[in-house]
Amino acid sequence: MSTIRPKHRLEYAWLASLGWMARVLPEKTAAAAGARLGGLAFDVFRIRRKVALDNLAQAFPEKKTGEIKDIARSLYRNLGKNLLEFLRFPKLTGGDIKNKVKLIGQEHLDRAIKSGQGALLISSHFGNWELYSASIAAYGYPLSVVVYEQHNPLADRMMNQLRRAKNIEVIFKPDAPRAILKALARNRFVAILIDQDAGPDGVFVDFMGRPASTAKGPAVFAIRTGAPLLTGVIVRQGDGGHVGYIEPAVYAEPAKDREQETLRLTAWVTAVMEKYVRKYPDHWYWVHRRWKTKPLK
């Protein structure tokens, strides 16, 4: 574990206080508080606001400045709701989560689990991705998730405790290659978010009209193991509920050139993600520098 610094303790105290508030307030009141918190982050503290606005403007050049700003503000409000919903996990049973999240495309999960090879479930920082994972587990599917260690070790421990309490197995990024293979061998779903800039190790595929360095790991595992690749996201509804979508699986064709097959599979899952981002732009994490790495000329 990383060294715990005074600022980590302050951040953790703030997070723990939010968690207490999320659990004692009625659900709708907690959601409103989360939205307000996100609004403050956008309008007052302006946390990574310029990054979000610039990314949106480049992705949607046809939209006016006011429209871009409205989408970004809505995103921040959604992020605030996401946080309080996540911190509210200790109050939710598996039944509560199933009542809150309707799964569409569940037959694709059933078909994948019957194959006996496990499956790779690819998603992104879209909607309440933590609730999406918890809902998959609540519906009875064995789920492992690949996570990065947070800079704050106290917050990191809290987040992973919340995940594990919802029957989610946590795989840390440094241990991922071996742990993913073991999870697939146990016929588990392995959830991986692939919408972060992958740096020089990624493969470049088109995302929102620009080449984006994208993690090739899921495609590599699919080629190596024969496990299906599924994609999905969760979409917030106006009534406070959510709909989790699971798209049909795609399979690797091992007889083909490995490099080209890696590119094909990565482009395929990225295109599915883009479909949802274009439909629900205020659900995706525009505050990340997704296109930071540029392809070589």
Tens-level pLDDT at each residue, the chain (297 residues): 679 999 999 999 999 999 999 999 999 999 999 999 999 999 999 999 999 999 999 999 999 999 999 999 999 999 999 999 999 999 999 999 999 999 999 999 999 999 999 999 999 999 999 999 999 999 999 999 999 999 999 999 999 999 999 999 999 999 999 999 999 999 999 999 999 999 999 999 999 999 999 999 999 999 999 999 999 999 999 999 999 999 999 999 988 899 999 999 999 999 999 999 999 999 999 999 999 999 987
Per-residue DSSP letters for 7-32? HHHHHHHHHHHHHHHHHHS-HHHHHH
Domain count, the chain: 1
Q: Is residue 288 part of a domain?
A: no
Residues 6+ apart with CB under 8 A from 110: none
Q: Is residue 179 part of a domain?
A: yes
Task: Assess contact for 25 and 71: CB atoms under 8 A.
Answer: no
Q: Is residue 40 part of a domain?
A: yes
Strand segments (E) across the chain: 101-104, 119-123, 143-147, 168-172, 189-193, 203-207, 210-214, 229-236, 242-246
Q: Is residue 174 part of a domain?
A: yes
Task: Assess contact for 171 and 164: CB atoms under 8 A.
Answer: no
Q: Is residue 290 part of a domain?
A: no
Domain range spanning residue 44? 6-283
Q: Is residue 293 part of a domain?
A: no
Q: Is residue 166 part of a domain?
A: yes
Q: Is residue 163 part of a domain?
A: yes
